[in-house]
Amino acid sequence: MNKSMILNLIDLSKVYAGLDTPILNKINLCLFQGENIAITGVSGSGKSTLLHLMAGLDIPSKGSVEIDNKNLATLNQSQLAVMRNVLIGFVYQAHHLLPDFTALENILMPLIIKGGSYEQGRNQALKILKTLGLTKRAEHYPHQLSGGEKQRVAIGRALITEPKLILADEPTGNLDHKNAKLVFEMFLELADELKSSIVLVTHDLALARKMKKIYYLNEGTINSR
């Protein structure tokens, strides 16, 4: 069975005003269903810019981004917002949990925004909490959770909508080595269950090596390692 292409970058370039050299220069990359890749590179090499372009949060100077065979340049802001909510899950270094909502409610939020049923969504969120080892923390608020627990909730929130593509920017960067390893393994387990594709941006080569392929971003170009 042929896997569908989830992400396709075609001659993608980005030049910021006032800079002579493009931060990204003719990037070509494709990602298929269930594939996981890591993107590494020194600070300032354009890794976060590349993620923003993939998500339609920034506009390329040249080239195009296609997600699930949709060219992002053909979508208006409202359509982009719907696309992000339906097709993409985001995991950041900072958890960005809503402080006045419980762990369960934080995970459930994207599904409610998407228009899903509360009861069905609640059951799905509880299942995710169980996989993440957080069943007993379901009714706890962010200030009652440890750093590792907060990041696990953030991962659950990213995956509740069963996205085809997960964009992860240093997802364990704020955690110690032990917690980082635990949280990342849970992240991969959940993503694998959903057959979601992952683009991981990280400085941590140990995490990068868990991906199917590693790309190195340097001086605007990308190469596999």
Indicate whether 28 pLDDT > 80. yes
Which one has a higher pLDDT value, 214 or 194?
Answer: 214
Rounded CA separation 120/137 (Å): 19
122-143 pLDDT, tens digit per residue, is 988 998 899 888 999 999 999 9
β-pair type (197-201, 165-169): parallel
Write down all domains in the chain, each with its CATH number in brackets. 35-56+84-224 (3.40.50.300)
Rounded CA separation 43/205 (Å): 14
User: What's the mean pLDDT in 106-126?
Assistant: 85
Rounded CA separation 70/58 (Å): 16
37-71 pLDDT, tens digit per residue, is 999 988 888 888 999 999 999 999 999 999 999 99
| Structure tokens belonging to residue 92 | 């950041």
β-pair type (36-40, 213-218): parallel
Q: What is the pLDDT of residue 132?
A: 85
Report H helices in the chain.
47-54, 77-87, 103-114, 118-131, 147-159, 177-194, 205-208
Name the helix (H) or strand (E) containing 39: strand 36-40
pTM for this entry: 0.88
pLDDT band at 104 (very low <50, low <70, confident <90, very high): very high
